[in-house]
Amino acid sequence: ELYGGFRRWLEAVEAMRENEAEEARRERIVARMASRWKNREVASVMRRWVEFVGQRQWMRRWAGRVFGRLAHAELYGGFRRWLEAVEAMRENEAEEARRERIVARMASRWKNREVASVMRRWVEFVGQRQWMRRWAGRVFGRLAHAELYGGFR
């Protein structure tokens, strides 16, 4: 417990030193930029932006250390298992959606197959009726003119 407190104090001191060094570096950059620009408003915005970037970098380093410690903790193991469960659930949902699309496509094909079959039978029926009308026309035409045909035989 004493060692843990000392370690945290050392980390805090190290972070403060890094922060001070970073702050000094940022101030030098801001001073250089401000001397180049006469417009104070632009220099002020630039200084705030540089400060924001520096703080963000420091926060990332600090968060990296914190999550690095959590990587070996039991809490992180539970969190990782939860993430794996969420990922598995998403994969299952995606697979279910894929299966539903396949079933819908198959049902559509079956429906279209039935419609095509009915259409094909209708076209055959119409063709057969047309043939029968032509045939019947020839037969009845011959019967109607049978007397004329008889004279030529």
- Is the distance from CB of 47 to CB of 30 less than 8 angstroms? yes
The answer as to whether 59 is a domain residue is: yes
Residue 65 pLDDT: 77
For residues 149 and 79, which has the higher predicted lDDT (pLDDT)?
Answer: 79
pTM given for the model: 0.31
Same domain? 135 vs 62: no
Which of 33, 52, 53, 51 shows the shortest CA–CA distance to 43? 33
Same domain? 131 vs 70: no
Kindly report the average pLDDT of the chain as a whole number. 83
Same domain? 60 vs 135: no
Quote the domain boundaries for residue 81: 2-102
The answer as to whether 57 is a domain residue is: yes
For residues 13 and 43, which has the higher predicted lDDT (pLDDT)?
Answer: 13
The answer as to whether 49 is a domain residue is: yes
The answer as to whether 56 is a domain residue is: yes
Residues in the chain: 153
Return all residues near 33 (Cβ < 8 A) that are at least 6 apart.
43, 46, 47, 50
Same domain? 124 vs 98: no
* Alpha carbon distance 45, 37 (integer Å): 12
For residues 53 and 112, which has the higher predicted lDDT (pLDDT)?
Answer: 53
The answer as to whether 109 is a domain residue is: no
- Count of alpha carbons within 13 angstroms of residue 121, beta-carbon side: 5
Return all residues near 25 (Cβ < 8 A) that are at least 6 apart.
54
Model confidence at 105, pLDDT cuts 50, 70, 90, reads confident
Total domains, the chain = 2
Q: What is the mean pLDDT of residues 71-82?
A: 73
Same domain? 87 vs 44: yes
Same domain? 33 vs 56: yes
Same domain? 31 vs 58: yes
CA dist 131 → 120, 124, 125, 128, 144 (Å): 17, 11, 10, 5, 20
Residue 87, pLDDT > 90, answer yes
